[in-house]
Amino acid sequence: MKFDPTQDTDVDSGEWPLLQPGDYPFSCLASDEVASKSEKNKGKLMFVVKLNVHGPKSDQHCWDRFAPSWLSPWKVKHFAATVGLSADYEKGELNGANNAFAGKVGYVKIGIEPAQGNFPAKNVVKDYIVRDAKAKPAVETPPDDSSDQVPF
């Protein structure tokens, strides 16, 4: 690849711009069920999700953690509702292991966590929001072209 090198004065800091606090559509990129490592809740299972939050000018990746009985339990119910898994939630059977939530879409309330020590400020998930209109993934699935095959 050929390119013109830039000087340090020509490039920005390399940090992604944060989304302003507010409500945004998201696509779930990854999910899993992991055991907590905290002293207080060591070994208790929680969901971990990686979201692609779709802002007006750019997307932002946000990680979130929640569990039904001990870590933000309202988030579990709201997440299930916004991604269409309320029936599973009501049965007490949500499976987030091995990227089971990947591809799910919904709406999220985003906030900003201030910088702490060496860590810069970052976007955080405050809650999941149920809306009347279904969220759409940022990239639509291409149509199936198999019917357009021309035999040679």
pLDDT tens for 38-63 read 999 999 999 999 999 999 988 999 99
First-to-final CA distance of the chain? 37
Average pLDDT over residues 116-135: 89
146 in a structural domain:
no
Q: Per-residue pLDDT for 150 more than 70?
A: no
Q: What is the pTM of this model?
A: 0.78
Q: What is the pLDDT of residues 92-118, one digit of tens each?
A: 999 999 999 999 999 999 999 999 999
Supply the pLDDT for residue 152: 44
* Lowest-confidence pick of 2-16, 63-77, 126-140: 2-16
Average pLDDT over residues 6-24: 74
pLDDT at 45 (0 to 100)? 95
Q: Is residue 108 part of a domain?
A: yes
Residue from 20, 14, 6, 67 nearest 40 by CA:
67
The domain in which residue 99 lies consists of 16-129
Say how far apart CA 90 and CA 102 lie, in whole Å. 21
pLDDT surpassing 60 at residue 21: yes
CATH number of the structural domain spanning residue 59: 2.40.50
Residue 77 forms part of a structural domain: yes
Total structural domains within the chain: 1
pLDDT of res. 2: 84
Structural domain contains residue 90: yes
Q: Does residue 152 lie in a domain region?
A: no
The reply to whether 145 falls in a domain is no
